[in-house]
Structure 1
Amino acid sequence: MKIETSTLVTYPAGETRGRSAVIGVVPVGERHGVIVAETPFHPLDHTWPDQPADTGTIGGAPVTDCVTGALEDGGDTVHLGEDIPVRRGTPGWHWLVVHVTDTPLEGEVELVADAGHRRALSAGHTACHLAALALNAALAGRWRKEAPADGLGSPDFDQTAIASSRIEPYGSRDVYRLGKSLRRKGFTAEGLAEELPEITRRTGDRLKEWIAADAPVRIESPGAELTARRSWHCDLPEGAVSIPCGGTHLTRTAELGAAAVTLELSADGSELTMRTTARTTARTTVSPA
């Protein structure tokens, strides 16, 4: 079966179900990678693997993993995840969502992403973005030089210092480097350990305010292609803010119900770790970023 098109995705609109034609099946170890024309599944992004893949079923078969694939136009080899040899979105390549199953499939199939798992990850991702903005504001006084600002005008510590980010069900873990590069850019790390409890309090208080504000969240996408450059938008009381993002999210901040932040400095002072935990209210509508 020759693949001549990229996978279209519906998860940016909040979809968790769909039907589509199988356009290819590729080997994934001892399993099978099923590729369809259109899918509601969010795959793991190999370039920034912050949010885990959706779980669920395809054609009734459990999806054991869901990864990004790429196929050069006219080629016959689908490269998976970290083995993709080109940058995401490179012209002349088809970008694919590969659903890993124990069963090869053909024809038209029903796709069902686990809505509960999606909601848990969406809660974690929404809380992660809000906590990052709150942390930026709490650390704003530690910059000696002008730094790139986030959407609310605070120096963007999150994007300047981020080393890794991992979304978890109802939470996230972000690690920031506090090395020489960040200090040269104007960030003051001295005395951070002593101030950490107060910074944690300010970050958490701002997060609670934004949850209570019930601010709307939406995802903007220029197209249905997997590689479309999507962004997360939130209309907070201080103003509208936008962050590039390819994950999934809740539709309003109040859906979080509550969230908490902890900050931990490494023993040598070279890394700051922020853990965010959240829970959701009874609302069931979700939309991705």
Structure 2
Amino acid sequence: MKIGGSTLVSYPAGEVRGRSAVVGAVPVGDRYGTIVAETPFHPLDHTWPDQPADVGTIGGLTVVDCVTGAVAEDEGESERSVHLGEDIPVRRGTPGWSWLVVHVTDAPVPGEEVELVVDAGNRRALSAGHTACHLTALALNAALAGRWRKEPAADGLGHPDFDQTAITSSRILPDGSLDLYRLGKSLRRKGFTTEGLAEELPEIARLVNDRLKEWVAADAPVWIDSPGPELTARRTWRCGLPDGEVAIPCGGTHLSRTSELGSVTATLELSGDGSELTMRTRVG
């Protein structure tokens, strides 16, 4: 195995094609994992698996999955073992480890240098879903701002950050997203009021969607700040909204302007016992 250093990634800049040297191969169950020096593919993040992996081709073969891998740098080349996904034993970005994008195929990838091509349509749909997800979270924070008795951490627009305080899972979908929030004792201790939420939910949804309509119409710029090309670089999503420029830590892919979304609609649903709030976001 010739792996040395973390995989360089070009997907934060929106790239969907590239050519790179093959630096390693690992088994992934009964399939084959190929590691290259630089890739446009976005892998599934094992620590917060919100955005699905890119699909496409590598060396002409179909990429059926794309996962995160890690290998200890102090192990001898003959002893190196690549850990994949949930089997990675250390935190993302731990010093002394190389962090890798592993492209999974049904057959070995031929050649020492390969072409990599991401399915651009699928990427765009996921990017739209991820951009809309961030905007909807910010709009939800604003709509729920009056329900806090205490001052929790604020989001980038100065509203109480309900999204980051209550979220339990987030899933980016093609042209949409699904977010789940826990409304339990912990959230109430932090000052959030749940009384009357069910009755007010239609009005809250209206406020969210009105704000989303304004932001899409504003044609606000969206971009990713990245301190470096390594997979583990701590990237930040930024958007120049009329309310102010906002920043959210994010390792996913995005559109370049809010107007590209066309329209964004959010629906809110409260569980029967009032303990969970579901938000579904749809683009178009």
Q: Same fold (TM over 0.5)?
A: yes
Alignment partner for residue 231 of structure 1, among 226, 229, 236?
A: 236
Could you tell me which residue of structure 2 aligns to residue 284 of structure 1? none
Structure 2 residue 174 is matched with structure 1 residue 199: no
Could you tell me which residue of structure 2 aligns to residue 125 of structure 1? 130
Map residues 134-213 of structure 1 onto 2, 5 A cutoff: 134-213=139-218
Tell me which amino acid in the other structure corresponds to 2:59: G
Q: Distance in 1 between matches of 2:102 and 2:151?
A: 43
Q: Distance in 1 between matches of 2:81 and 2:139?
A: 44
Alignment partner for residue 83 of structure 1, among 76, 83, 87?
A: 87
The percent identity for this pair of structures is 78
Tell me which amino acid in the other structure corresponds to 1:16: V
Secondary structure of the structure 2 residue equivalent to 1:45: coil
Secondary structure of the structure 2 residue equivalent to 1:274: strand
Alignment partner for residue 95 of structure 1, among 99, 105, 110?
A: 99
Q: Distance in 2 between matches of 1:121 and 1:273?
A: 20
Could you tell me which residue of structure 2 aligns to residue 39 of structure 1? 39
Shift of 1:102: 1.4
Q: Deviations over 1:188-238 (max 9, x none)?
A: 011100000000000011001000000000000000000100000000001
Q: Distance in 2 between matches of 1:257 and 1:152?
A: 23
Secondary structure of the structure 2 residue equivalent to 1:203: helix
Could you tell me which residue of structure 1 aligns to residue 221 of structure 2? 216
Q: Deviations over 1:5-56 (max 9, x none)?
A: 2100000111000000000000001110000000000000000000000000
Q: Distance in 1 between matches of 2:43 and 2:96?
A: 21
Tell me which amino acid in the other structure corresponds to 1:265: L
Q: Distance in 1 between matches of 2:168 and 2:6?
A: 30
Could you tell me which residue of structure 2 aligns to residue 3 of structure 1? 3
Q: Distance in 2 between matches of 1:220 and 1:73?
A: 27
Structure 1 runs of 4+ with >4 Å offset: none
Shift of 1:74: 3.5
Secondary structure of the structure 1 residue equivalent to 2:264: strand
Runs of 5+ unmatched residues, structure 1: 280-289
Q: Deviations over 1:125-168 (max 9, x none)?
A: 00000000000000000000111110111000000001000000
Secondary structure of the structure 1 residue equivalent to 2:199: helix
Q: Distance in 1 between matches of 2:231 and 2:18?
A: 16
Q: Distance in 1 between matches of 2:65 and 2:243?
A: 39
Map residues 246-257 of structure 1 onto 2, 5 A cutoff: 246-257=251-262
TM-score (norm 1): 0.96
